[in-house]
Amino acid sequence: MNAEAGNDALDNLLTEERTFPPPPELVAQANVTEDTYAQAAADDEAFWAEQAKRLSWAKEPTEVVDWSNAPFAKWYADGELNAAYNCVDRHVEAGNGDRVAFHFEGEPGDQRDITYAQLKDEVSQAANALIELGVQAGDRVAIYLPMIPEAVVAMLACARIGAPHTVVFGGFSADALAARINDCGCEVVITADGGYRRGKPAALKPAVDKALESTPGVRSVIVIRRTGEETPMTEGRDVWWDDIVGRQSTEHTPQAFPAEHPLYVMYTSGSTGKPKGILHTTGGYLVGTAYTHWATFDLKPESDVFWTAADIGWVTGHSYLVYGPLANGATSVMYEGTPDTPHQGRWWEIIDKYGVTILYCAPTAIRTFMKWGHEIPEKYDLSSLRVLGSVGEPINPEAYVWYRHYIGGDRTPVADTWWQTETGMHMISPMPGVADGKPGAAMRAVPGISVEVVNDEGQPVGNGKGGYLVVTKPWPAMLRTLWNEDERYVETYWSRFPGMYFAGDGAKRDDDGDIWLLGRVDDVMNVSGHRMSTTEIESALVSHPKVAEAAVVGATDETTGQAIVAFVILRGEAGDGGPEIVQELRNHVAQEIGAIAKPRSIMVVAELPKTRSGKIMRRLLRDVAENREMGDVTTLQDSSVMDQIKGGMSASS
């Protein structure tokens, strides 16, 4: 465990004693009450059997969870359903076809309202197009798109025909895209000419063309026209979305699939270099996301306007922009661009314009808004907001209080939701009509979920103490395995504490037993709410011909939570660095992984601190990167190394 970082966080949190009770109007009509917790605790299987009724099943499940082959779970295994039918058709059949599914707001200011009826037509057309291209149930489709409605349509079209999708964040590089396509064995790619970012068109298709030089399995590429920029098309492989989707019938009869049919694979960084393909399946995932979207945000689908301000390329976009909200028949906002284009009030303008009632975003965004100043949101009418959510990293009490005060007008509960790509759904969060919010606390497990904070031996630490966060029982939206890597699945999540899911996060229970998250305990960084692996970035650096060795650490950063700081040893012939090499290496990382993985700083050093067994002591490098007094150096093979590094640091800063 990263003891120093954990203790700093603890000290701050221990002084935090404010609480905010929920408003009485919300309590009076709350979806979740204290009774819900009691019911779920009395019989969690019965609770999850009940939640399955939120969906329309072609064949109702009689089983709930099958844990006989743990840690490989099955949920609702004898049930059958179609995910797209649940997200779209059934709302139309229930007479809600005119309800807006998405208020889409493009960055340049274009807008489009898409009703459930329109969504049904478009998803059916796209499903028919995929079928025309020969895509069958079980085939994988890669989606590499900006935040445009077609991204949702593409995901649902895949789900409709039982073809698992793997959405790759548009900010990832060609190399990262190729690696994911190959690992997942995708045959078709859905992309766009580009999207709008910071007021300018940003091309996507060239990255696809480059990626496809090394992905022999891909036969077709569907290209959506978004920016209208000149885009090269490869004859026989590439087709325009407008051509192939536009001419299809709007009729498509969805087929039911077994509950455990794969829905999607989402790649995420682990503590080794190779990204992990998290596999989610259909029934349990939809039950889990539909339930938590309704419970955590106190959703009233008829009247709420919900906005997850996250990209579809991350799990938050999957669970709370697509599957959860659509399964619930909710109305959502979808915004393409950055928060400061064309001005720093863009988000608040959008909330004002659409009457957004629930906003869900990451602390890093909140901290950025704090920096820009509260005068900006104050210019807009935000009185429609009634619940706020936070996701992706620990929310510091200052950001929580600012968010609640300046955005929520001191009315809104703040749901600090802890979960992961792997968990698929919220696992720990205050329920807005129940808990007195504590700034910085994720509070307690969602009804029906069992978590614990344990010590090194796997024993509960009890109140007032910190340790490792684990999940002690299977849950509906849990990952089923890592794509093609069953052993790694068992090893990564289920071997540290046998019988328990090890999340990789440190946590603490306060004197009331409420849970506070303390950050990762492994080599995973959290930069602006995005998971980044130190090893993956180290591998990228070492793949540069001038680099002999590299060590990467996450240093505390006021805005992004953590920032990537790299230490590199150059090869003899590369000289001693200089500003050019640093720039060259930053660009190299962007090319290997994506611009989001560019180190904030790179320091050229002569040696790295290593233990006698040769393990890099990242803890000490973190001390340097954060300008802290250095921790214990006695286990270093050569303790003078740190003096050299520190000397170099002050010389270069």
Decide if 604 contacts 576 (C-beta within 8 A): yes
Residue 207 buriedness (CB in 10 A; 0-12 / 13-18 / 19+): buried
Binding flag, residue 520, ligand WTA (CB under 6 A): yes
Compute the distance between CA of residue 176 and CA of residue 207 in angstroms, rounded to an integer: 10
Considering only 419, 468, 489, 501, the residue that binds ligand WTA (CB under 6 A) is: 419
Decide if 293 contacts 32 (C-beta within 8 A): no
- Which CB, 91 or 438, lies closer to ligand WTA? 438
Binding flag, residue 421, ligand WTA (CB under 6 A): yes
Binding flag, residue 418, ligand WTA (CB under 6 A): yes
The annotation status of 208 as a binding-site residue, yes or no, is: no
Compute the distance between CA of residue 13 and CA of residue 301 in angstroms, rounded to an integer: 35
Closest approach, Cβ 246 to ligand WTA, in A, equals 35
Compute the distance between CA of residue 491 and CA of residue 229 in angstroms, rounded to an integer: 46
Listed ranges 108-116, 253-261, 398-406, 497-505: which one lies at the site for ligand WTA (CB under 6 A): 497-505
The annotation status of 197 as a binding-site residue, yes or no, is: yes
Binding flag, residue 288, ligand WTA (CB under 6 A): no
Listed ranges 9-17, 159-167, 202-210, 502-510: which one lies at the site for ligand WTA (CB under 6 A): 502-510
Nearest to 447 by CA among 81, 73, 30, 86: 30
Q: What is the DSSP string of 247-314?
A: TS-S--PPPPEETTSEEEEEEE--SSSSPEEEEEESHHHHHHHHHHHHHHTT--TTT-EEEE-S-TTS
Phi/psi zone of residue 375: left (φ > 0), alpha (ψ -120 to 50 degrees), beta?
A: alpha
Compute the distance between CA of residue 478 and CA of residue 508 in angstroms, rounded to an integer: 23
Binding flag, residue 318, ligand WTA (CB under 6 A): no
Q: Residue 450 has which token pair?
A: 């069992």
- Which CB, 85 or 306, lies closer to ligand WTA? 306
Phi/psi zone of residue 127: left (φ > 0), alpha (ψ -120 to 50 degrees), beta?
A: alpha
The annotation status of 340 as a binding-site residue, yes or no, is: no
Decide if 360 contacts 391 (C-beta within 8 A): yes
Binding flag, residue 515, ligand WTA (CB under 6 A): no
- Which CB, 172 or 418, lies closer to ligand WTA? 418
- Which CB, 9 or 208, lies closer to ligand WTA? 9
Torsion of CA 543, 544, 548, 553, to 10 degrees: -70
Which residues neighbour 40 within 8 Å (Cβ) at sequence distance 6 or greater? Answer: 47, 447, 448
Considering only 90, 261, 444, 531, the residue that binds ligand WTA (CB under 6 A) is: 531
Going by the DSSP 8-state scheme, the letter that residue 4 receives in this structure is: H
Closest approach, Cβ 389 to ligand WTA, in A, equals 9
The annotation status of 626 as a binding-site residue, yes or no, is: no
Q: Residue 20 has which token pair?
A: 């905010």
Binding flag, residue 5, ligand WTA (CB under 6 A): no
Listed ranges 38-46, 154-162, 312-320, 371-379: which one lies at the site for ligand WTA (CB under 6 A): 312-320
Binding flag, residue 335, ligand WTA (CB under 6 A): no
Which residues neighbour 19 within 8 Å (Cβ) at sequence distance 6 or greater? Answer: 436, 437, 438
Going by the DSSP 8-state scheme, the letter that residue 56 receives in this structure is: P
Interface of this chain with ligand WTA, residues 382 to 411, rule: CB under 6 A: 391-394
- Which CB, 130 or 395, lies closer to ligand WTA? 395
- Which CB, 555 or 624, lies closer to ligand WTA? 555
Considering only 164, 432, 474, 504, the residue that binds ligand WTA (CB under 6 A) is: 504
Q: Residue 17 has which token pair?
A: 């004693």
Q: What is the DSSP string of 166-217?
A: EE--TTB-HHHHHHHHHHHTEEEEEEESEEEETTEEEE-HHHHHHHGGG-TT
Binding flag, residue 100, ligand WTA (CB under 6 A): no
Closest approach, Cβ 440 to ligand WTA, in A, equals 9
Radius of gyration of the chain (CA): 24
The annotation status of 544 as a binding-site residue, yes or no, is: yes
- Which CB, 135 or 477, lies closer to ligand WTA? 477
Binding flag, residue 324, ligand WTA (CB under 6 A): no
Interface of this chain with ligand WTA, residues 248 to 277, rule: CB under 6 A: 268
Binding flag, residue 516, ligand WTA (CB under 6 A): no
Nearest to 241 by CA among 259, 258, 222: 222
The annotation status of 542 as a binding-site residue, yes or no, is: yes
Neighbours of 549 (CB within 10 A): 17
Q: Residue 422 has which token pair?
A: 């792997």
Closest approach, Cβ 629 to ligand WTA, in A, equals 26
- Which CB, 97 or 394, lies closer to ligand WTA? 394
Binding flag, residue 442, ligand WTA (CB under 6 A): yes
Number of residues that bind ligand WTA (CB under 6 A): 22
- Which CB, 376 or 517, lies closer to ligand WTA? 517
Binding flag, residue 227, ligand WTA (CB under 6 A): no
Compute the distance between CA of residue 51 and CA of residue 494 in angstroms, rounded to an integer: 26
First-to-last CA distance in the chain?
A: 30
Closest approach, Cβ 433 to ligand WTA, in A, equals 19
Considering only 416, 452, 510, 557, the residue that binds ligand WTA (CB under 6 A) is: 416
Binding site per annotation, positions for ATP: 392-394, 416-421, 505, 520, 531
* Binding-site residues from annotation: 197-200, 316, 392-394, 416-421, 505, 520, 528, 531, 542, 544, 547
The site for ligand WTA (CB under 6 A) is made up of 268, 314-316, 391-394, 416-421, 442, 503-505, 517, 520, 526, 531
